Every structure is written in C-alpha cells, then in structure tokens.
Amino acid sequence: MATIGSFKKDEDGFTGTINTMTLTSKVRFIRNESESDKGPSHRLFAGKTEIGAAWAKTSKDGKPYLSAKVDDPSFPAAIYATLIEDTEAAGTYALIWSRRTQD
C-alpha cells in the first residue's frame, strides 16, 4: 500500500492533491446525488476534468471510507484507492493505493 494523496474535508466533499510517478494534480471529491444506491457517492475532478468516482463504504470495525476508482491517460490502467481519515494528522484524509480489484 502507498499513500498517493492527502485531502481535507470541505462542504462539498474533499479537496487535496494526488501525487504518483506520472501525475501530480489538485483533485476534488465532489458529492454526487445518485439516483441509484449502487451509483457513486462522489465524483473526482482534476480542474474541470472528471477523473474518477468513489463509493461510500464502512469498514468491518465501523469506520466510514471511500472506495475510489481513478483513471488518467498516463496510467496503464485505472487504479483503485481508499480515502480514509489519517490517524496521525487530525482533520486530514489519506488516499491509499493498492494493486487490487474494486470491492
């Protein structure tokens, strides 16, 4: 697992930066009003460009998190990541990447 982003919660969702070997970009997780309970709870934007989506989930120990799918033309394939509250820095959230399939 690797931390590829740091975010802060705001009135619309989360705002922060994603840093990978091929991408450094300010990104916003904006709440999405989905008509389906299976639809994403958030859309991810870099500027005005949509780069992914995230779904609200709850861990086995009851903690909320977002399961995100992020894509960029510089990536060989979409990446999956988890946005969780950072236990070491109050009020911040870490975007954790791992090579896995979407839950």
Per-residue pLDDT tens over the stretch 20-48: 887 789 999 999 987 777 899 999 999 99
22-31, 41-50, 77-86, 91-100: range with lowest mean pLDDT? 91-100
- 8 A C-beta contact, residue 66 and residue 58: no
Secondary structure E strands in 20-59? 24-31, 42-46, 49-58
Q: Between 62 and 38, whose confidence is greater?
A: 62
Residue type, 78: A
Give the per-residue pLDDT at 80: 93
Of the candidates 80, 85, 92, the residue with the CA atom closest to the CA atom of residue 8: 92
Residue 57 in any domain: the answer is yes
Is residue 103 domain-resident?
no
Range of the domain at 87: 2-98
Residue 21's pLDDT is 82
In a domain, 65, yes or no: yes
Tally of domains within the chain = 1
Residue 14 CA to residue 67 CA, distance in Å, equals 13
